Chain A
Amino acid sequence: QKEVEQNSGPLSVPEGAIASLNCTYSDRGSQSFFWYRQYSGKSPELIMSIYSNGDKEDGRFTAQLNKASQYVSLLIRDSQPSDSATYLCAVNIGSGYALNFGKGTSLLVTP
């Protein structure tokens, strides 16, 4: 069973702080890594994708990938209450394959 592990949380951070969300995966053949945001009662929304080791920045979001450690993270800078949601880490071994999801980390940004 190929696992994607996330701390379920909730992770609580004050408004304006940096939120750090972590994910580990077991399949060393994994090639593509994604972060989805899911608001309560809504479907997953893609916010970041990363394919190479290192950092990838998009606005307030930074994804970090370390394939040697089988670890991917998402940093949210200047966290806002509207960032409160569940963040799902998803991994696959290539574009023709299904996504393997973690259970998600619940993030709460308090005003």
Chain B
Amino acid sequence: GAGVSQTPSNKVTEKGKYVELRCDPISGHTALYWYRQSLGQGPEFLIYFQGTGAADDSGLPNDRFFAVRPEGSVSTLKIQRTERGDSAVYLCASRLAGEDEQFFGPGTRLTVL
């Protein structure tokens, strides 16, 4: 079956602009996670959704970052007033209820100029 999909695959924006990154989880997966990965680092947790609600948003670095999952499927990560330090690969993962394993999408590479 289809895996996790993320769009766009690449996003280049200017400092101060607003961006939206989209994640479409594996069909039937109720849990959805956002991570970001900088060069030479492991993925770092941002936010976890169980269904429509954010069960844990402790990894969001500041209030410029926000994510939604209004219908319990597709999620959008929103970044306001982007900064050069936001440049990274943003990864989405999903998990089936009752299971432990998380499966990652291909990621969105965000570059803030």
- List the interface of chain A (C-beta within 8 A of B): 4, 8, 32, 34, 36, 42-46, 49, 51, 88, 90, 92, 94-104
Contacts and interface: CB of A to CB of B under 8 A. Distances in A.
B65 interface: no
Interface of B: 31, 33, 35, 40-45, 48, 50, 55-56, 59, 89, 91, 93, 95, 98-107
Given A90-B42, A99-B35, 4 more contacts: A4-B42, A96-B48, A99-B45, A103-B41
Given A101-B42, A101-B44, A96 B102 contact: no
B101 A43 contact: no
Contacts of A51: 100
The 7 closest A-B pairs by CB, nearest first: A101-B42, A98-B45, A95-B100, A43-B104, A43-B107, A32-B100, A44-B104
A99 B102 contact: yes
B91 A43 contact: yes
Contacts of A32: 100
B101 A42 contact: no
A108 to B, nearest CB: 16
Nearest to A88: B42
Best-surrounded residue of B40, B41, B56, B104 (most CB of chain A within 10 A): B104
A103 B101 contact: no
A43 B5 CA distance: 11
Contact of A49 (B31, B100, B106): B100
19 contacts: A32-B100, A42-B106, A43-B107, A44-B43, A44-B91, A44-B104, A46-B102, A46-B103, A51-B100, A88-B43, A90-B42, A95-B31, A95-B100, A96-B48, A98-B33, A98-B35, A101-B43, A103-B40, A103-B42
B70 to A, nearest CB: 21
Contacts of A102: 42
Given A43-B106, A98-B59, A103-B41, A49 B101 contact: yes
A103 B41 CA distance: 5
A46 B99 CA distance: 14
